[in-house]
Structure 1
Amino acid sequence: MVLVYMLTSALFRFFISEMAKMATSLRPFICLLIIIMDVIAGILGIEAEVAENKVQNFKMWIFECRDPSYQAFKLGLAAAVILSLAHVIATLLGGCVCIWSKEELDKSSPNKQLAFGSLVFSWIILTIAFSMLMIGTLSNSKSRKSCGIAHHRLLSIGGILCFIHGLFAVAYYVSASATAAEEEKLHHPRTPA
């Protein structure tokens, strides 16, 4: 049993080190991928708003009755999915950078502080953007002809927030990768040959 544990542990460490080496060579590609995905999500969110505005509606004071737009539904849903995928890629490939106390924050390197701040802001922006995109998307569901207080610009604001999310997600990925490299050098310094 101990032998199985030791082999599994060694295999896991080898796998992680190889993944880290591979991720190092792919960093520019991953940054570009995150930015492209967030830009596409933002454009889709704005296009969903344009499609939503093309449907027929009746407005009286602050109340509005309008038909749903299936095109806006598809575009909004695609924007929300792509935004989520970009966030998952940035956080999973960036790794876990956690700070549990004020003392730890004060002692940590600038890269780790930047990674932590970027992670927090990317989660906040993701939550707001995803919520706005989904509310706008669900208001365009085929089964709903909605009458009520007008909810304008949810999809376009969610789309704009996708652009901002891209900046924070890339900042997190780059600074988390730099933090991991710093910690690797501290724990495993290279010995001269």
Structure 2
Amino acid sequence: MSISGAVDAIEVLRRHPDVVDAILVDVEIHGRTASIAAVHVSDYCSPQLLREHVHESLDGTGEAIDGVWVAEVADRRAPGDWEADLRAIHEHAEEVIFVAPLGPLEVQLAALCAEVLGLSRVGATDDFMDLGGDSLSAARLLAALQDRWAVTIDVFELLEASTLRGLAQLVREREAGTERG
């Protein structure tokens, strides 16, 4: 990732209506440097939706940032007081980076979830509800799973699986059960 790409991403985040402030933090993860945007928001806004906002605003031109860390300003810290967030970012860096789907099933499920939710992409560790999923989109997703993979999953199982990777595991288990049954 280029420095200018990261700077562009921070500027895009700062223009988002729910963002009060944003900075770029470089974190070492598994021998590589990941660029994470630390964001203070005035109202709830999920990291995944902010990452999607950056991706769409920069026309999907590569990865401008590896992840987004969101801290609500409800605790009334002084503007620009990032000390507590910086400690938390370093402790939880792996949880906030975008994780690309692995394997054909995850890739296909990511495309399906993105289509159902009206997003340009969905990561393997993204949470369905945090991406804007609701009962209607859950019903559409579950119907599509039934049509494409002939697996029956209920809404409670979808919510429990939570992430795309969890959903892929559930589909694999159901497919294996169907083949045996």
Q: Which has the higher helix share?
A: 1
Where is the strand percentage greater, Structure 1 or Structure 2?
2
Q: TM-score range by the shorter chain?
A: under 0.3
TM-score (norm. length: structure 2): 0.27
